[in-house]
Structure formats: C-alpha cells, structure tokens
Chains A and B, each alone.
Chain A
Amino acid sequence: MKEGKKKKKTETSIGESISALGAFFVYLITGLFLAVGFWVVGEKYSVDLISDPSLTLRLLWIIEFPIVVIIYSLFRRNPEKCSYFRAVGRSILGLISGAIINALGAVSLGAPIGLQSLPKTIHWSFLMSVFTVVPATAVFGASWTNWHRVFASLKPTGNIEYMILIPAYGAIIGGWFGAWPMPLDWERPWQEWPICVCYGAIGGYIVGQIVSLSLMIFLRKHKNLKLA
C-alpha cells in the first residue's frame, strides 16, 4: 500500500513547478484582484459587504475567478496531454461543483436556508469555491489520486501543491472561526450571514498564503541544507 503511494507520488510530481518568488507573485496578483474587487464594489456600485452582501460577493468571485483560473491553469498537470483551454474549462466545472459542496457544508453547519438568504449563500459558496476548489481543479483536473493525496492525506509535494492546499484549508478554517461571532447580540450588521464568515474566510485565505510561502522558503532552505 505504502509502496504504491510512493510510486504515484513520483508519477504525479511531474509538472510545472514554481519557485517561492513565483508563488509570492501569484499571491500578490490574487490578493490584488481581491482588493480590486472590493474597490470596484465600493467605487462603481457604492455598496459594501455589509450593505449588499450578495452583490458584493458576486462581484468578488466574478473578478477573482478568472485571474485564479488563468494563473493556476499555467501550472496544470500533464501539460502535454491537457491543453490550457481544457484546464480553464474544467475549472469552470470545478467552480460549480465546489460551490455545491461548500453550500452543503455551510448548511450542515447551520447556515440559514430561507429563500431570502439563498442568493447570499450561493455567491458565498462560489467565492469559497474560488478559494478552495478552483485552483485544484485547474491543476489536477479530475485526477482523484492527486486530490486524495493533497486534500485528504495532507501530503503535498512541490510548491504548487502547497499553494493549493494551505490557502484552501486556511479559507475553510477561517470561515469556521468567522461564524463564531454570529450568535452574539451585538446587533452589528456584519454579524449577518455570510458577512463575518466571509471576512473569516478571506482572512484565513491570506494567512494560508503567508504560511504556505514561509513553508516553501523554509523547506527549500531545508533541502539546500540537506544537499549541502
């Protein structure tokens, strides 16, 4: 069993690789577009997450999604077998299925299920999908073994897998913690679903990016030390 896994690892680790600096730029661009998203929402539509969460979330994921797809599709597995546009196409599918999974998870954890909050839940889950599932679909496609190894067994290899795994878990854990203030009776508008969960997810995503960057740097140094 273990041997089999090892074999798979060596097979799948072939693909585009990325340096820590590259990862930093990727993060910078995705972060920038997140900021652009907020700016567009604030300047063009003059709303924010609190006053109109569903519009804001929609714009955020619509702005963030293309850039994530464009960047991560560059690092797809088996580039010779799988064209760039195929990677883009499958990540659209990934976006939708990821949104469904996220929505179901949120509902089982207690997200409101009324018709009023339906658009909010949908757009929130699309944003979560962009953070969690879309990069992985762009890179892995439907390769279950890769998914399983990275997300379930938590055994990423190579920088790109760190870039997929850690921010995704960061967003989920951040969102989980973000739900904590919701029941409090402070009567602040941001306590509504899904505003604080969103803040939590974005915060967790950014923390995940920082952690993955530092891990990459740390591991490279470690490797260098080993080599030396």
Chain B
Amino acid sequence: METYLKNKKLIAIGFLLIHSIAILIFTRGFLLTRTELPFHSTCSDVSLSPCLTSPPPSNHDSNPDSISSHSNHTCWTKPVVDRVIIIVLDALRIDFVAPSAFFPEPKPWMDKLTILQKLAFANESSAKIFKAFADPPTTSLQRLKGLTTGGLPTFIDVGNSFGAPAIVEDNFINQLVQNGKRLVMMGDDTWTQLFPNQFQKSYPFPSFNVKDLDTVDNGCTEHLFPTLYEDDWDVLIAHFLGVDHAGHIFGVDSSPMINKLEQYNSVLEKVISILESHAGPGGLHENTMLIVMGDHGQTLNGDHGGGTAEEVETSMFAMSTKKHTTSVPPEFDTSSCKQNSDGKQICISSIEQLDFAATLSALLGISSPFGSIGHVNPELYALGSSNWDLEKSESGNFGTQSAVKEWMKNYVNVLCVNAWQVKRYIDVYSNSSVVGFSSDDMARISDLYAAAEQNWTNSVKHLLMDRNGDENNTNRSAFKEQIAAYLNFFSSVVELARSKWTEFNLNLMITGFGILVISLIIQFLVVFHGDKSYAVGFWLSTGAAFTLFLVTIRACSFLSNSYILEEGKVANFLLATTGLIKLRYSVMKKTMRKEAVIFLAIASVLRVSIDIGLTKQAATSQFMSSSPSWILGIALDLPALTYAIEIAPIVSVVILICVLYIAIAKTPSEGMWNEGMWKYVTVGSMISYFLIALLWASESKIFGLDGLLQVIGGRNRIPQTVYAIGLVQLFLLASARMFCAGEKKYWATRTVALVSACSSPVILLSGKQGSLLALAYLLAGYCIMRLEGVERITKLDRQNKLSKLNPLCVMQWSLLSICMFFASGHWCAFDGLRYGAAFVGFDEFVLIRQAILLTIETFGFSIILSVFGLPILLPIHSQTPQAHSQKRHQLFQMYMLFGVISATTVTATILCVTIQRRHLMVWGLFAPKFVFDVVGLILTDLLICLASAYYF
C-alpha cells in the first residue's frame, strides 16, 4: 500500500509536468510576443548612418535661403511640409472614399464623400486617394498604436493596453514633441489616454457611448474650424467617431450612416475651402498637408477587430496645398486605374498603415520612431515634395523630368536613412528581446541590407554628392536600382515581422493541444484504474452520467465568446441544476431536505454576488453592455444597511472562529503529541481570524476603534502578523507531516488545520467579502458532503460506510470553486485582477512578494482552498485502519477526478482559442481567458501534488 501511495504522488507530479510541457508548447505558438524597446530615436543618431546627413544638393538650388526659410534646422531629412492636418474618420471603409467604379456594384453608401473624389481626380491635382491596409487587430486603440509607432501591436502590446495606458514605446507623436512641433488634438479621447502629456491643446470627447453618434463629431467640428485659422500648431489631429458608432448600432447600409457620411463631406468641404483660401504664398497653409484617413475598416454589420478584408481595408486621402506635384516613376507607382462613368481615367493608390509613421516623419523632417518598421511611401512622399522645384515653374518636358529626378534624389536619401533605422531596430530587437528572430532570417535580412548599402556607398552616394552630375539616364537608373534594393529590404523585413508578430504557429499550437488531449485520456484511465468496490463509482451510475454531461456542457460552452463572458452565470446555472437534482433525490429519500434547500439558497446568494461582479466587469469591458437593471432600488445610505454591511463581515469571522473551535473540540485530545500539534496550528488560525476581525473593526467608523491602529503601530502590522502566522502554520504542518508520519488517522483534524492555515491570508486579501464567502463556501461544502450519495442512501447503505463515492459531488465542488472565483469579484481579464490586494500589509512594491499576494487573492477561493479542502467532501467517520486506507484511495481518486475536470475545461479553452484565433475578440476575450485558465490549471496541478504529499 505504501509503495502504491508513493506512486500516487509520482502520478500527480507527472501530470503537472505533462500539462506544463503541453501548455508551454501551445503558448509558444499562440501568444505572440513583441518586446517593447525603451529606446528613442534622436536627431543626432543619423550621423551614425551611411547616408547624407545634410540634404542633397539640388541642381536648381541657387537660392539657399528658400530652404532655411522653411525650417530652421533639419533633423534626419529635409522637411517637405510645414504643417499636417490628420483627420481620422473611425472605421472608414475603402468604399466610402473610393469611387463606386472600383467595386462590382454601386451601393447606397458609396460616393458620398464627393469632395475627396473631386479633388483626387481633378487635373493637375495634388491629392490622392489611397487604399490603406491595416494590420489586425483592427480595433481603434491597437490601430492608433500601430499607426503612431509604425509597428505591429501583438498580444503583449494589447495586454498592456487593457486599461488604455500611455504608449511607452517610441512613437510618431513623441518624435513630434521631441522636435519641437506643437500638437493639437480633438475628438476621440483614446488619444489622450495613449498620449497623456504630448498635446499642447486637446479637446477630448468620451468615446465610450456607442449609441451617441454626434457628441464627438460635433465637438470636433466645433473646435476644428477655429483652430484652422490659428498658427500656434504644427500638427492637428481630429478624430471623428460617428461612422464607427453608426456602423456598430445600425450597420453600414442604413440612413444614419449615409447622413454621417454626408455630414463629413460638408465638414471636409469646409476644411478644404479654408485651407485653399490660406494656401497662397506666405499664407497660413502655404505648405500644409491634409490627410483624411480611417484607422480600420468595418464589416457591413459594423463589426471590426478581426483580419478579414473588409475590416483590414481602409482608406486614406492625402492632399497638399501646394498645387504642383511630382509624378512618381511608374516602377514605384502602386495605383490601379478604372474608367469612371464619364470615361475618365481615375486611379487610386495603395499604402500600408505600417508605413504611415515613417512617411509622415519623413514629410515633416523628423526622426522616425525607433521601433518603426515601415518605409517611406513613394506616392505619399511625392505629394508633399512639390517643395523642390520651388517657384522655378519650369515648364515643359525638361521641368517634369528634372522634377522627377529631384524627387528621386531626395527619396533615395530618405530611404537610405529609413533603411538604416529599420535595420538598427531589427538588430537591437533581436539582441535584446527574449524571443528574437531566427538567425537564418537575420542573415537573409542582413544580406539584403548589406547589398543595398554597398551599392549606396560605392556609387549612389557619389552621384548625390556630385553637384554637377551629368543629366543622363544612367543616373536615373542607378537611383531606381537603389530604391528597388531598399524596397526589397523593407518588404522582407515586414514579411518577417508579420510572420513573427501576427501569425500564429499552428504546428506548435496543435502539438500542445495534442499532448493535453493525450494527458486527459491517461488521466481518465488513472481514475478508472482504481475503480474498486469502495472507490468512486463510475460505471452505470446516474451520477457519473450526469457529471459527464455537465463537464461536456461546460467544455462546449467555451466555444462561444458569449458563454465565456457569462462563465460565472453558466457555472452557477449548472451548480443550481445539480442542487435541484439533489433536492429531488433528498425529497424522494425523505432525508436531508434542509441541506438541499440550504445549498440552493447558497447558489442563489452566489449568483447575486456574481451579478455584482459582472456589472463591475461591464463597466470596463469593451464587449459587454452594462445592465444595472437587476439592482434593486435600495438606497445605500440607509443607516441600518450601512451598519449591516459593516458588521456582517465581522460577524461571519466570529462565526468562523466558532466553527473552528467546534471542529477542534470534537477531535479526541488524548492523542499523541502530534495530534495536539494539528490543534495548535488550528488555534493559530483562530488568532489570525481574530486579528482580521480586529482590523476590519478598527477600519470601520462605527466601533470607535480608530485609535487602535495607532496603538499597534500602523495599519500594516496586523496583515503582516497574519501572513507570518500563516507561514509558521504551514511550516509546522509540513514538518509535522515529515517527522511524525506514524499517525494518519485523523483526516478531519489535518484537513481543518491545513485549510484554516491557508484561509486566513485568503480572507484577509479578499477584503470584507472574504469572510462571507468563506462562510458560504464552508456551508456549501458541508451540504455537498451531506448530499453526496443521497440517492442511494437507505438503511442498509448507511451501515456500509464504504459505498462508492458519487462523482457528482466532485463536480459540484469544482463548479462551486468556479462560482467562487466570479463571486469574489474576479473575471477572466487583466483588469479583473484586484491590484489593491497586492498592497494589503505592504506599502512598497517588491515584484515577487506582490505577485504572490495577487496570485493568492485571485485564485485563493477558487483553487487554493478548493484543492486543499477537497477532503471535506469525504464523510469523516472511518475508524478501522482498513477503512482508513480505502478512504485514502478514494481521496486520491477524488483528486484525480478534480484534476480531470479542470484539465478538461482548459483543454476546451485551448481548442477554442485555436479555432477562434482569428476571431474579433481573440485578444480582448479569448487570450485573457486562456491565460487565466492555464495559470489556474498549473496551479491546480501543483497544489494537487502538495495535497497528495500532505494527505497520503
């Protein structure tokens, strides 16, 4: 028997290892991580690059003053525009902007922004429509981050932005501020969350209310027009939300959407007329660029977030107030053209949103963000580059030719700096990040870059330096070749980055999932293996069938995002269902009806608590609508109620102390020394509880114990004492287990000692609800224990204590622990963590200590107490040694069963994230759920190991 029990410990450790390996492999494939580098680009960096630090000399540059009049100093490249107006229209589909001729059939929402089309397709135009490609996840916050940093936000980025904190990575906005540009922002308040200090002036409007189509837009227009007449800014950002909201509420094909688009058209008409009226030489907008862009697209239902073509394809309109524009050489022209109804040739180009930060940095002549991997888009850059041919206004073929050449000279130098910056980022990233790029990929990229650079230093640089370079075609082709080499480098960098940061490794994911499934099968076999007459009854029993049914339902429920959002309610629904079934049996057998009713009552109480938790979640979640409708109209300032709220936790702590006292008073005290020790350990918990009650009493105002905290020396003293008592208790228990292995009779005492030792820190960290929940947990556990096997209780069975155990009780315990997780105000998202708990008893932040406290708080009720408290479910009367060893066998099976149930749900979650990896909510919902479940499973396995070491 002893060796068998030792094997059991090994079995528990084995499952811990298998699960860890499976999860590790899966995570490598699924959780794409990108390390945010803390470095920032500065103007002086450029001297390290092989490129020309001063702007290339121009053939026609007879008037040097004209350059210095545009900007006082140059940073990386010569600025080509003075001011930029960025108007972001949220969720702007490509077919809102592009003419209907580009689409199979015209739809009602097309051709509404007529002013943009008119400008873009006018002769001699300095405006262009781009089809812009966003990278998933296509939600506003992530897109704004991608646009401004020029990178590809991944899970870790997204993970950091749940509470929308400021972007710490180097970004375009940061660079603007660093280069002394003045910024004005209006509209969506996400910008001010991302960039709290960067804007000189900002007019943020709340983006939270999706049903409100007009507040943000009206606020925007109200501030936009006056600001256009002012000269105290260099970059203006206006973010309109109406189209996004109209899409979410009404869908694309709706009259509010069309009204919104028509409203935007008139706003844009007015903006452009203001710009044109000030576009003359010396005017306010002499050299201004207007960019109208979407941050992402949307589906016809107004959804966005995923990676489908409709969501990814958005549009960008760019216009320079300088009329004359350089045409891009056809090699670098991405435009696609169609005939419109009048038979006129109309073209739209395409651009990657990734390139936005780099291109705008080049246009404004500032350093591009450190982590940008985009390149300067030739067509967008050309729009602004009317600057070079200046006011020479050479006419005819020669003028255009030289303008193109001039543009190419500048562009090739810009690309040189750009390529150097990207290469620097890739090098630094792969050196400093935990999971860098593979050496093969790095070598390939380095080769491409080296080739381009070689060509640069050997020939092109000299051509550029050479002021009197002859105007022949070899020059042009050399430039073109150089540009092509750079673009080749950029495209392979972006391809590598995409594969690294936006594509899942399906092979690893499937391997991890496969290992987990195999471990599940083994675990089932282990549970069945020990199916002896006194073990957990599995075959042909209604309890087993029902358990299987519930596990299956719960597992399947994870395939839908809605059930994940309402997981707490689903668990409670299933828990109450088991309660109802037990109630039916208890009525049938005419025993223990009281317990069944109490169990149902606890389930009802828990559901109210879960509802409260869900409303908290809805307040911050982007997926849930807050529905406080269930809240009864109780005035919370009623004095009686305040007293009740203050007193209830303390009363329940007192009740817990009494329960502990009864528990240890019942056990025989004439035992050996170590039996006494279990008791003393439990007495320690009673002291802890008392201290907790004292702490809460002194924190509330009604007891008049305010002075107490001063007496004992600060409010941290009590929590620290409680932690210390808990640690000492655990140490004593461990040493008692190691050195006094002889006596193994008294389950109850040992369980009580361990659970109570763990419970006091958990209750303390959970705050005042903790004691109430602990009481509910204890009561529910007692009811489950009593109701276990109620359906087969007859007089005969009662004499035979070693009847088979009903697996349903373990399922109930597992469901109860899940309900506890949600009822204690948690949910599976990172903003569901109660960070305040990490600082109970400590003021300063020490990562490991605070992380441990947070883990205890998060999983305290749902995993730590439920795993250690599982023996509560065993009926305690076992006197004979034989019965005792059989009980141990039963307990081991219960642990295995508990492990199987947890592992099954986690496997279902993993299957779900594998299937839904391209789902709209994968980062917002499935990935956090995955992280919580996986951490929970590992913790469960670990604690099962510890528990089997302790109990067997």
Which residues on A are within 8 Å of B, measured CB to CB?
A: 105, 107-110, 112-117, 148, 151-153, 176, 179, 183-185
Contact = CB atoms under 8 A, between A and B. Distances in A.
Interface in B603-636: 603-604, 607-608, 629-633
Given A107-B604, A152-B584, A112 B629 contact: yes
Contacts of B584: 152
Contact of B570 (A116, A148, A153, A183): A183
A32 B632 CA distance: 39
B577 interface: yes
Contacts of B632: 113-115
A113 B576 contact: no
B739 to A, nearest CB: 48
A98 to B, nearest CB: 15
Contacts of B528: none
Nearest to A116: B629
Contacts of A148: 587-588, 590
Given A110-B607, A113-B632, A183-B565, A152 B587 contact: yes
A146 B588 CA distance: 12
A115 B580 CA distance: 25
A148 B586 CA distance: 11
A109 B629 contact: no
B512 interface: no
Given A115-B632, A152-B584, A153-B588, A183 B563 contact: yes
Contacts, number: 57
Contact of A108 (B569, B604, B631): B604
B600 interface: yes
B699 interface: no
Given A108-B579, A109-B580, 14 more contacts: A107-B604, A108-B601, A109-B576, A110-B569, A110-B607, A112-B629, A113-B632, A117-B629, A176-B577, A183-B562, A183-B566, A184-B560, A184-B563, A185-B562
Interface of B: 560-563, 565-566, 569-570, 572-573, 576-577, 579-580, 584, 587-588, 590, 600-601, 603-604, 607-608, 629-633
Contacts of A107: 604, 607
A148 B600 CA distance: 20
Contacts of B588: 148, 152-153
Contacts of A115: 632-633
Contacts of A176: 577
A136 B725 CA distance: 59
Contact of A185 (B561, B587, B631): B561
A114 B607 contact: no
Contacts of B607: 107-108, 110
B630 A112 contact: yes
A222 to B, nearest CB: 25
A82 B15 CA distance: 66
A110 B631 contact: no
19 contacts: A105-B580, A107-B604, A108-B600, A108-B603, A108-B604, A108-B607, A110-B573, A112-B629, A113-B630, A114-B630, A114-B632, A115-B633, A117-B629, A179-B573, A183-B563, A183-B565, A184-B560, A185-B562, A185-B565
B910 to A, nearest CB: 21
A153 B589 CA distance: 8
A183 B629 contact: no
A125 to B, nearest CB: 15
A110 B576 contact: yes
| Residue in A113, A116, A151, A179 with the greatest tally of chain B CB atoms within 10 Å | A113
B500 to A, nearest CB: 32
B636 to A, nearest CB: 16
Nearest to B795: A1
A38 B560 CA distance: 33
A92 B632 CA distance: 30
B631 A114 contact: yes
B587 A184 contact: no
A113 B565 contact: no
Contacts of B604: 107-108
A148 B593 CA distance: 13
B764 to A, nearest CB: 30
A114 B629 contact: yes
Contacts of B563: 183-184
A176 B580 CA distance: 12
Contacts of B630: 112-114, 117
Contact of B569 (A105, A114, A116, A183): A183
Contacts of A116: 629
Contacts of A105: 580
| Residue in A115, A151, A183 with the greatest tally of chain B CB atoms within 10 Å | A183
B587 A109 contact: no
B570 A109 contact: no
A184 B565 CA distance: 9
A152 B579 CA distance: 15
A116 B631 CA distance: 10
B562 A184 contact: yes
